[in-house]
A and B are shown apart, each in its own frame.
Chain A
Amino acid sequence: MKALHIALKDLRMRLRDRNTLVMMLLLPVGMTAIIGFAFGGESGISTVEFLLVAPEEGGFLVDAAAGFLSQHELFDVERASEEEARRAVADGERSAAVMIPEGLVDSFLSGTPAEVRVLRDPASSIKAGIIQSMVEQVVSSVSAGSALGRGVFETLDKDEPLSDSEQLALWGWMFMWMRDAWTEPPVSLDTADADTVDFDVHAYFAPGFAVLFLLFTMLTSAKTIHEERESGTYGRLMAAPLSETSIIAGKMLGSYVLAALQILTLIALGSLFFGIEWGSHPGATVVMALVTAAGATSLAMLIAAAARTGRQTDNVGTAFILVMSLLGGSMWPIEQAPEAFQRFGRFTFNYWAHGGFKKLIFDDAGLAGITQEIAIISAMSAVFVVLAVLLLARRRA
């Protein structure tokens, strides 16, 4: 009961503070809007135009690749010279140009390295990113095909050298097979391009910034433990007839309610300002929001418990949150990072929190689809809370 009053007192103080409100709502909404502008209204991409720079005599391999790249209605491909392509990309007329070198087929047959280049317009990074990921797919399957082919040839060559016509026939057969595989993949990956077709910048970044600023709000909340120590109100609470557990519980409860209010409001504002659809399972979205709030509250509480002063909480906490947000992809598309980097990201709360929302928004996942995120964040929260309480108890001399 007394814990509840401590929570209410904290809430009242925090909501009365204009800085808190700015940090809670204005900054994340503002950042999302700015990012939206930065990506130049690329939300709701309908077509991706790009130029293909390829030798006229590129042969069947280039045709196959070009065919593959243009098969999807999303893509609008035109051939161009290298010079034209460079100019068009530099002027922002096209998002990207794909440049296939001379002699690609020879390199392919002999296994010598060849370089397919993607020229990107930095102002149009999402479209360019989509093209790049498509090209990467083609290149990696071509490389795989080349390696496989050469392996087969070597084995056959050992017993009885193959004649030129036999070689050509074999290659031809393999390419038929590969092209079929491209058009109708036998193993369909959870294709990134399916998502990017209706990529919505706001919907991608809004949850990321929400998580980031949720952590900041919670940090200033958790910091009040130190502020109360420094101002003497903590001592006064200790002198009143209630247990220290109630004090800490009250402070955590107040923080948590604030966190829940913030994230739910940000979700509502996201729909209102940016038309974000947070999936079609409102129950799952609310659960995800509440679990995320718990994660942020407990993490911030742990940071404050580990710090000696309010100032240290601020400094260490801010650095910590920024690093975690970078690693966990709260501020940029972590999907484009190398796998090794993403693996680091998985250690962060941000990764899972943002990830859960992305699943709700882009995969239209229900509660069942985000059980992993919910389980991991809940486990993290439990660990953080236990550590925080242990540290706070130890501090009491």
Chain B
Amino acid sequence: MSVEPIIRVRNLVKRYGELVAVDAVSFEVAKGEIFGLLGPNGAGKTTIISILSCITSPTSGSASISGIDVVTDSLTARSRIGVVPQEIALYATLSARENLMFWGRMYGLRDRTLARRVDELLDVVQLSDRASNRIDTFSGGMKRRINIAAGLLHRPDVLFLDEPTVGIDPSTRRSILDLVKKLNTEGLTVLYTTHYLEEAEFLCDRVGIVDKGKMIAVGTRDELTESIGATGVIEVRADGLDDAVVDWLASLPEISQAARSDDGLTLNVVRGANLLPTVVDRLTSSGVDIHSVDVTVPNLESVFLHLTGKRLDEENDENNRRD
């Protein structure tokens, strides 16, 4: 990258007492990119975004937006950034238009310019007909869309989207992803956090994988999947798995990682086209009841598995159960 990156993060650290929520994270995002931060619950994604949007100050390290330091020149930096928080940060008893007018004013927009921009964005998120209804009468997906619109009013250089599809139905989710894509093609740089790997794969030019505060890998999808050296993935859905059989599989030279999930097993395969019969044999002979077997190419899930020894959705499930 020869041009100055629009987001530059260097050695960012954030401690909450003993807990290191962000642990020496560094990355850069080029203008026009969609950059994904992928990681399980509690990985530190929101904390990174909070520091970049000047809501939280870092313990150490630095971050800049278009060359403007977010700590020392935060007022200027903030005017370049659009923020879409993870929660619906809107006033429930105000209408969609009232909310957008208010947030526009907070970014210094006024009068005709403001009114016109609000109408424009209501149109973009397809809620013009509901503009004067209160936010608390909206569905989850509609709230999410206004939440995004509120981050776009001042035409920011870069948009931070923090898990904007949590808790909504698949079709709304799809429409939000399409909206982000569309905004990106119009020139907006996007920093997008998620714990859904399909979203990261579908949307992002490059992905940073975050776990326990650390950025454990950065790159395009292909770079990341190639980096683990696996040529294939075997997904088994089965009952009656035990640790012994999983350990035995993991010890095979052809298998780089084996991880159990709620309903089965995922194996990262390094080489050996004829591995499948061996695996199936071994499983059936130890009494495992196989429902299905899938052979696929490596994806970001395989990368996460390779790097952490855990499945991403398993992590999420665990954390969700804890919540």
Contacts and interface: CB of A to CB of B under 8 A. Distances in A.
Interface of A: 2, 5, 9, 12-13, 16-17, 231-233, 235-243, 397
A17 B93 contact: yes
Contacts of B81: 239
A239 B83 contact: yes
B102 A9 contact: yes
B108 interface: yes
Interface stretch (B50-58, B225-233, B287-295): B50-58
B88 A237 contact: no
A2 B105 contact: yes
Q: Which of A12, A240, A397 has the most CB of B within 10 A?
A: A240
Q: Which of A5, A16, A233, A397 has the most CB of B within 10 A?
A: A233
B75 A241 contact: yes
B35 interface: no
B87 A240 contact: no
A239 B55 contact: yes
B150 A5 contact: no
Given A2-B105, A2-B106, A236 B94 contact: no
Nearest to B46: A235
Given A238-B54, A239-B54, A5 B102 contact: yes
Nearest to A230: B87
Contacts of B16: 397
Interface of B: 16, 50, 53-57, 75-76, 78-79, 81, 83, 85-94, 98, 102-103, 105-108, 150
Contacts of B94: 9, 12-13
Contact of A397 (B56, B91, B105, B107): B56
Q: Which of A13, A235, A397 has the most CB of B within 10 A?
A: A235
Contacts, number: 65
A238 B55 contact: yes
A5 B85 contact: no
A233 B150 CA distance: 11
14 contacts: A2-B105, A2-B108, A12-B94, A17-B93, A231-B88, A232-B89, A237-B106, A238-B55, A239-B54, A239-B78, A239-B81, A240-B78, A240-B107, A397-B16
A366 B289 CA distance: 92
B53 A239 contact: yes
A231 B87 CA distance: 7
Given A231-B88, A235-B89, A239-B83, 18 more contacts: A5-B102, A5-B105, A9-B102, A13-B91, A13-B94, A16-B93, A231-B90, A232-B86, A232-B88, A236-B83, A236-B89, A238-B53, A239-B54, A239-B78, A239-B85, A241-B108, A243-B75, A397-B57
A5 B16 CA distance: 33
Contacts of A237: 106
Contact of B85 (A2, A235, A243): A235
A397 B94 CA distance: 29
B78 A233 contact: no
B89 A241 contact: no
A394 to B, nearest CB: 14
A287 to B, nearest CB: 32
Contact of A236 (B57, B92, B150): B150
A241 B102 contact: no
A200 to B, nearest CB: 40
B78 A241 contact: yes
B92 to A, nearest CB: 8
A235 B57 CA distance: 13
A160 B52 CA distance: 99
A124 to B, nearest CB: 47
A304 B94 CA distance: 23
B107 A233 contact: no
Contact of B107 (A13, A231, A241, A243): A241
A232 B105 contact: no
Contacts of A13: 91, 93-94
A13 B98 CA distance: 11
A17 to B, nearest CB: 7
Nearest to B89: A232
A238 B76 CA distance: 13
Contacts of B89: 231-233, 235-236
B283 to A, nearest CB: 47
A16 B92 CA distance: 12
Contacts of B56: 397
Contacts of A242: 106
Contacts of A16: 93
A236 B93 contact: no
A232 B144 CA distance: 13
A318 B16 CA distance: 32
A235 B83 CA distance: 10
Nearest to A224: B91
Q: Which 6 A-B residue pairs are closest in the complex by CB-CB distance?
A: A232-B89, A232-B87, A240-B106, A236-B89, A239-B53, A241-B78
A272 B76 CA distance: 53
Nearest to A233: B89
Contacts of A232: 85-89
Contacts of B108: 2, 241
A335 B321 CA distance: 60
Nearest to B134: A16
Contacts of A240: 78, 103, 106-107
Q: Which of A12, A17, A243 has the most CB of B within 10 A?
A: A12
A397 B75 CA distance: 18
Contact of A5 (B79, B93, B106): B106
A12 B101 CA distance: 13
Contacts of B85: 232, 235-236, 239
